[in-house]
Structure 1
Amino acid sequence: MYRLLSGLAVVEASSFVASPTAGLYLAQMGAEVIRIDQAGGGPDFRRWPLGPSGSSLYWENLNRAKKSVALDLSRPEGRALMQRLAASTGQFITNFPVEGFLAHEKLRAHNPNLVTVRVMGQANGGPALDYTVNAAVGIPGMTGPAEMGDAPVNHVLPAWDLLTGAYAAFAMLAAVQHRAATGRGQELRIPLADVAIGTVANLGMLAETVQEGQDRARLGNTVYGAFGRDFATRDGGRIMLLAITPRQWSGLVRVLDIAAEVAAIEQARGVSFATDEGVRYDHRDLLFPLVEERVRGWNHAALEQALEANGCCFGGYATMTEAARHPALVTENPIFGRTENASGLDYPAPGPFVTLPDQSRGAPARAPRLGEHTREVLGGLLGMSDCEVDGLADDGVVALG
């Protein structure tokens, strides 16, 4: 773990993906992140995928490097403790509802300078998940091959959750910086739906639809606006080829030995493919069959070697099982390491994604056992004695892991 955020302590009360991801990223950069859950586990504590013992690999990996406190939030005493803890460090991340016992104004009674980052579904407080938001912004209508017709195609990766989590971590640091300059805390609300539609707009996709008055057609694996698609090799492999820059295009032409054919297409259509990726996209009806025919004459490994030597952009398709065994991706990638896991399983565990050339990541931190740090946190942040904590545990208000 890096120590760039040493000295920053954040309390997190959250579940599922976006809010826990924000806490994870802060923890991996050195912040002390204290996650508070319902005693016995919240709604994501047993979420799939599961290990052989039934423990959640999802929960285990989204909560690495954090401390765990377990409270019975169904009881007034547990909610009162939650309020005190949420305000105790001055930084709080949650996806609990705007109104309720964790409302920012209620927490400010304990700490007027509190910074609260609240991940939400919709701006009006309504519920939303990654998959419902993705459906609402129109992405499933662009995903998949043209043969799908009007049937939507959902994505597997919860992209909006992950973007929202990263944005929430950024928002927390921005608010902490603002408070240092002004002395004022505040609440920052980050609706998942706004992240999704805002990102679509940032990419020009919303403007395109408004201006053209129609939806973008499905393209399958073709990259919109550039030369890019998957192609089959002679030995049954499949490779994704892209040519975004002039160097990538010239390298691809050289490797496939299609300079004469490309020049003939350019002359026939009065265009040049050398510098403009959009022109290459416009004339894909002739370029794709040409490239497809030449790629079929190569074995996959030999083609990759030639493409790499010529500065081309490509990627071979692999299963996740194959990716897990790939040296550059996993087995020799320094972001991965081995550590003790609460599940008892041994597998590559990721640390921070960023590389600091003059610092070592060290071993990845493990996830806590549920309630493992309850005694430590209640004593350290709220000044409770062991006797007080034991009394709360005996009464079922807290769980000690």
Structure 2
Amino acid sequence: MSGDRPLDGLRVVEFASFVAGPSAGMTLAQLGADVIRIDPLGGNADYRRWPVDAGSSDSEGDAAGSSDGEGDATASENSLYWTSLNRGKRSVAVDVRDPAGRELVVALATAPGRDAGIFVDNTVGRPWLAHDELAAKRSDMITVHIEGRADGSSAVDYTVNSEVGVPDLTGPVDGGPVNHVLPAWDLIAGQSATTALLAALHRRERTGRGARIELALADVAAAGVANLGWVTEAAQRGDRERHGNHLYGTFGCDFETADGRVMVVALSGRQWKNLTEATGTTAALAELGESVGADFFTDEGRYSHRAAITDVLRPWFAARTSAQAAEALEAGGVLWGPYRTMRGFADEYRSDPSSAPVLVDVEQPGIGSVISASAPFRVDEEYSGAVPAHDLGADTEQVLGEVLGLSDAELAKLKAAGTI
């Protein structure tokens, strides 16, 4: 991204692991903030979390054999997970069990300056990092603490997702709950943390007041399903039936082609018209609508008779290859998308980078070329670009000298003591 980035000059200290906190810090770094990541010596709990790079596993079969994509990694393995979520941050490695190390962390978090005094964490059982402790050293301190539940107890994405009932809505019509692999609430929590932090910063600029922000993952999930109207629907109507790959409340379904599968959606009357015309089923579907007394130009009409509509459309897709179907659907202005494996998505990007312009190749030290990503938003019509993650502790001496003014002798003493 050319020119000044929106958050150039802002300093954020992050002491967080897994998805929500690190994704918030990554977003701030992509906007230009100097994000200083605090790492315990040897790395935090997520330092070697799967997926790991292919060169790190004993064999391809070792990685593929894990049922959930996670496993115990050895010291030689490089985490694609960790290096992806910590791109563009500076890393300070400190022994946080040592009182001297704790003092360094607190000093970094509360360092003076108009664009400093911002701390993001998801730590548990570290009262020395509590807002009141930090605010005692800097009254306008902004802290963002991410936790499992509002009462401080533990929760993770996959447990809160099952609690709010999303897996019970997911999967085949006949079957039990189906967990999905995307940690959606973690990612939303990360962006919520970023929004709250920037709002608090705006208020501090106007009033000089700091802020204590607490964000519970369980609250993010509960608010998410409530804001979609799903909780009220369940309270009024009872649990919704499972729909498989049908879209709820309107028309959308997957169709097998002669050599693959596509997803087709019609959210509006115009999209419905385009779909029927592109597939040559206008007359047949009009006749079906008349026979059942339904208006397929409405969401209710399409949704209520989704199975019959699908039966009419299915032969058109089955008689065509995916390429032939794609050509006709594109020409007809139909809302659709192909089904790919993740490897297929990667291969498509490799063969045609313009297919996913937000992605970018980055040379990650210790791993090699990785497919990384810019921030998904464009500022002044430009993507942010991407940079590699810094090695664990690579910036310790530079940051402590620059931010805290420690001399070479003081740094050498801390290093000799094993504090850094």
TM beyond 0.5 = yes
Conservation of the 8 A alpha-carbon contact between 1:144 and 1:153: yes
Q: Deviations over 1:190-217 (max 9, x none)?
A: 10000001000011100100111x2111
In the alignment, which residue of structure 1 is the partner of 2:235?
Answer: 210
Query: Within 5 A, what are the aligned runs for 1:33-182?
Result: 33-51=35-53, 52-53=55-56, 54-88=77-111, 89-97=116-124, 100-148=127-175, 151-182=176-207
Residues 250 and 300 of structure 2 are in contact (CA less than 8 Å); yes or no, is this contact kept in structure 1?
yes
Displacement of 1:330 in angstroms is 6.7
- 2:414 matched residue in structure 1: 392
Q: Which of 380, 383, 387 is the equivalent residue of 2:402?
A: 380
> Structure 1 vs Structure 2: percent identity of aligned residues?
42
In the alignment, the residues of structure 2 paired with residue 9 and residue 350 of structure 1 have an alpha-carbon distance, to the nearest angstrom, of: 22
Q: Does the residue aligned with 1:338 lie in a helix, a strand or coil?
A: strand
With structure 1 as the length reference, what TM-score do the two structures score?
Answer: 0.94
SS in 2 for 1:126: coil
**What one-letter code is carried by the residue in structure 2 that aligns with 1:71?**
V
* Paired residues of 1:325 and 1:331 also in contact (CA < 8 A): no
Contact map agreement 2:117 2:140 (CA 8 A) in 1: yes
2:32 match: 30
Cα displacement string for residues 106-146 of structure 1 (whole angstroms, at most 9, x for unaligned residues): 01122110100111100000011111111111111111112
Contact 1:243 1:313 in 2 (8 A): yes
Alignment counterpart, residue 257 of structure 1, candidates 262, 266, 280: 280
Unaligned runs of 5+ in 2: 57-76
SS at match of 1:279: helix
* Deviation for aligned residue 1:356: 3.2
Q: Which runs of 5+ in 1 are unaligned?
A: none
- Aligned residue among 190, 202, 220 for 2:244: 220
The secondary structure found in structure 1 opposite 2:21 is helix
**In 2: Cα distance, 1:380 partner to 1:357 partner:** 31
- Contact 2:50–2:79, Cα closer than 8 Å, also in 1: yes
Contact 2:38 2:93 in 1 (8 A): yes
Q: How does 1:2-13 map to 2 (within 5 A)?
A: 3-13=5-15
Identify the residue that residue 60 of structure 2 maps to in structure 1. Answer: none
| CA displacement at 1:358 relative to structure 2 | 4.3
Give the Cα separation in 2 of the matches to 1:248 and 1:379: 60
- Using the alignment, how far apart are the partners of 1:74 and 1:272 within structure 2? 67
Distance 1:290 1:334 in 2: 36
Partner of 1:272: 295
The answer to whether the 8 Å contact 2:21/2:120 transfers is yes
- Separation in structure 2 between the aligned mates of residue 324 and residue 293 of structure 1, nearest angstrom: 30
Give the structure 2 partner of residue 316 of structure 1: 338
* CA drift at 1:328: 9.3
Q: Does 1:352 align with 2:381?
A: no
User: Counterpart of 2:255 in structure 1: which amino acid?
Assistant: F
The CA RMSD measured in Å over matched residues stands at 1.6
C-alpha distance in 2 between matches for 1:299 and 1:82 = 59
- After TM superposition, give the deviation of residue 183 of structure 1 in Å: 0.9
Whichever residue aligns with residue 289 of structure 2, its letter is E
Question: Which residue among 215, 219, 222 is the counterpart of 1:190?
Answer: 215
Aligned to 1:18: 20
Once residues 99 and 126 of structure 2 are traced to their aligned partners in structure 1, the CA distance between those partners, rounded to angstroms, is 16
Whether the 8 Å CA contact 1:323–1:330 is kept in 2: the answer is no
Q: For residue 99 of structure 1, report the CA deviation from its aligned partner.
A: 6.0
Alpha-carbon distance in 2 for matches of 1:30, 1:330 = 28
Compute the displacement of 1:277 (Å).
1.7
The 1-side partners of 2:358 and 2:295 are apart by 42
Structure 1 counterpart SS, 2:263: strand
In the alignment, is the contact (CA less than 8 A) between 1:231 and 1:240 conserved in 2?
yes
Counterpart Cα distance in 1 of 2:170 and 2:82: 29
DSSP 3-state at the match of 1:347: strand
- Deviation, 1:98, is 7.5
- Deviations along 1:227-276, whole A, 9 cap, x unmatched? 0111111x2311111111112111110011111111112222222212x1
C-alpha deviations, 1:21-59, integer Å up to 9, x for none? 000000001111000010111101111111224111100
Are the counterparts in 1 of residues 31 and 384 from structure 2 also a CA contact under 8 Å?
A: no
Partner of 1:338: 361
Partners in 1 of 2:382 and 2:274 — Cα distance? Answer: 36
CA contact (8 A) 1:34 1:69 kept: yes
For residues 193 and 345 of structure 2, the distance between their equivalents in structure 1, rounded to whole angstroms, comes to 29
DSSP 3-state at the match of 2:220: helix
Q: In structure 2, what residue type is equivalent to 1:350?
A: A
Partner SS, residue 187 of structure 2: helix
Q: CA 1:98/1:216 → structure 2, altered by over 3 Å: closer, same or farther?
A: farther
Q: Please list the CA deviations of residues 332-375 of structure 1 after superposition, one character each: whole Å capped at 9, or x if unmatched.
A: 3432333331223212221221123544645x211001111111
Tell me, yes or no, if the aligned pair for 2:278 and 2:334 is still in contact at 8 Å: no
Aligned residues: 392
Q: Distance in 1 between the 2:349 and 2:16 partners?
A: 34
What CA distance in whole angstroms lies between the structure 2 residues aligned with 1:60 and 1:359?
A: 23
More displaced 10-residue stretch of structure 1: 353-362 or 159-168: 353-362
Query: Relative to structure 1, is the Cα distance of residues 330 and 367 closer, same or farther in structure 2, using a 3 angstrom cutoff?
Result: farther
Which amino acid is 2:14 matched to? E
Moved more, 323-332 or 312-321: 323-332
